[in-house]
Amino acid sequence: MASNPETSLVDLRSDTVTQPTLAMRDAMSAAPLGDDVFGDDPTVNALQTTLAGQLGFEAALFVPTGTQSNLCAIMAHCQRGDEYIVGQMQHAYRWEGGGAAVLGSVQPQPLEHQADGMLALADIEAAIKPDDPHFARTRLLALENTLGGKLLPFDQVLAATQLAQRRGLARHLDGARLFNAATAQAAASGDEVLHEARRIAGCFDSVSVCFSKGLGAPVGSVLCGPRDFIQRAHRIRKMVGGGMRQAGVLAAAALFALENHVDRLAEDHAHARRLADGLAGIEGLNVQTPQTNILFVELTGAARERSAELLAHLKAHGVLALGLYQLRFVTHLDVDAAGIDRAIAAVRSFFKP
């Protein structure tokens, strides 16, 4: 897969666009397989055991997507007529087709986020309904970390999840980018990434991790939790059509990512900062400070109406991004420093032809 650096695309639309590396493909092709619906795919079992062990959970379940993982989690925590407290911008509320309500008869109670991405303790407290037949039964608090590339402040995650526990709610983390969160937290604390991942996960009863984002696998998420919870999630996964047979060929990619791609997430974060630094000072752009691998750039003044034109200009220069008044650039393992510099040059040439 040789690529010409001058003509290959710098695809910053999302960290889902990565191609499996040759080494990952080798691991996939060498993986021992079985029928996972019978529970005998050794590679799926190894992935589940490995991640559960790393994050400090009893059990885990490999699922095709993060959406299905969140759905299985919400349905395994909640019954029909229950509700879950969730942020307005979280994937498990906004971007999953209303699945928990449609398929689980579980009502969302969305809350506004604070500037740092967290839900305010007072808002969570106020959203917990009394035991009264007028109300749905508040059963679950769901958070997402990272959220829009933001690392949730750990002390607030701890306080919110302790509040939920005190009030008898279960706690689920959409940790699609848990390892990005752990990488940013580790950079601040000096601790190991895995230690930080375990510290964040330890605040929750269940955690979902995506392998098809920055970790670079083609497909798959893993839901972790207590054994009885994972048994319920397993039944729900079957019900929504997520039981897969020789799924070890996919789990092998996720296992490979766990072993080889966690440590390099810091590079993606450095690339996002490099991009932010390179775009700083351009008139018409308000460049945010990225905490992880996602950079938002707001178009201001006269540039505000020019996003379509800018995206087309970038595309003509081999750089892909997404957005409207706010552009989104996401770094990942298929973008190197040279690609970032090409993106910077392409944006600069739009504003100063």
Ligand X SMILES: *Cc1c(COP(=O)(O)O)cnc(C)c1O
Give the nearest residue (CB) to ligand X: 66
Q: Which is nearer to ligand X, 251 or 299 (CB)?
A: 251
Q: What is the DSSP string of 208-271?
A: EEESSSTT--SS-EEEEE-HHHHHHHHHHHHHTT---SSTHHHHHHHHHHHHHTSTTHHHHHHH
Bridge partners for 109 per DSSP = 85
223 with 73: CB under 8 angstroms?
yes
**Least spacing, CB of residue 69 vs ligand X, in Å:** 7
Structure tokens at 84: 């879950």
Q: Which is nearer to ligand X, 43 or 67 (CB)?
A: 67
Query: Positive or negative, the Cα torsion across 190, 121, 77, 167?
Result: positive
- Phi, psi of 174, deg, nearest 5: -80, 95
Q: Which is nearer to ligand X, 310 or 331 (CB)?
A: 331
* Site of interaction with ligand X (CB under 6 A): 65-67, 91, 144, 174, 176, 210, 212-213, 221
Total H helices, total E strands in the chain: 14, 13
**Least spacing, CB of residue 310 vs ligand X, in Å:** 24
**Least spacing, CB of residue 304 vs ligand X, in Å:** 27
Q: Which is nearer to ligand X, 48 or 293 (CB)?
A: 293
**Least spacing, CB of residue 189 vs ligand X, in Å:** 23
163 with 20: CB under 8 angstroms?
no
**Least spacing, CB of residue 96 vs ligand X, in Å:** 7
Q: Which is nearer to ligand X, 204 or 350 (CB)?
A: 204
